Amino acid sequence: MAEFDPEKFEEKYAHYFTELQRAYKNAFEVMNNAYDSELIHAIDQQILNESEPFYDKTSGFRVELPDEPTARLTAVVVDDEKLRETLDRYVAEIERQLYDVFGLERPDADEARDAQ
């Protein structure tokens, strides 16, 4: 694995394509094991296929979704609340996997440790 350089993340697909693929794949596997696989596949193919990961030194990783993400889902019938909750959980999992793949500590990891 390449050592993470925040400056290189601006050109993420040139420098970190393999790591990005791994993070998205890991997130897919976690979600597919925990939720309805048909819904997870549909979210993956119709919404997350145009998502964009970003890194900011202050706030860390974030995944931006395409405009009107829930309107993009046509492969399955699901109520809006379930879709939004599942999508939010999926995005959080991708962000978690990005930290793991790059070997970085999540900003909320300190809060979680302090709560113990």
Q: Considering the domain boundaries, does residue 15 fall inside one?
A: no
Q: DSSP states of 32-45 as a string?
A: HHHS-HHHHHHHHH
How many other CB atoms are found less than 10 A from the CB of residue 89? Answer: 15
Q: Considering the domain boundaries, does residue 6 fall inside one?
A: no
Total domains in the fold of the chain: 1
Tens digits of per-residue pLDDT, 75-86?
899 999 999 999
Q: Considering the domain boundaries, does residue 5 fall inside one?
A: no
Q: At what angle do helices 37-46 and 17-34 cross, to 10 degrees?
A: 150
Tens digits of per-residue pLDDT, 53-97?
999 988 999 999 999 999 999 989 999 999 999 999 999 999 999
Strands (DSSP E) found in 47-113: 52-56, 60-64
pTM over 0.85: yes
Q: Considering the domain boundaries, does residue 24 fall inside one?
A: yes
Q: Considering the domain boundaries, does residue 2 fall inside one?
A: no
> Where in the sequence is the domain holding 91, given as residue range(s)?
20-115
Find all residues with CB under 8 Å of 7, minimum gap 6, and list them: none
Q: Considering the domain boundaries, does residue 111 fall inside one?
A: yes
Q: Considering the domain boundaries, does residue 81 fall inside one?
A: yes
Distances (CA, A) of 47 to 43, 63, 109: 5, 12, 28
Q: Considering the domain boundaries, does residue 101 fall inside one?
A: yes
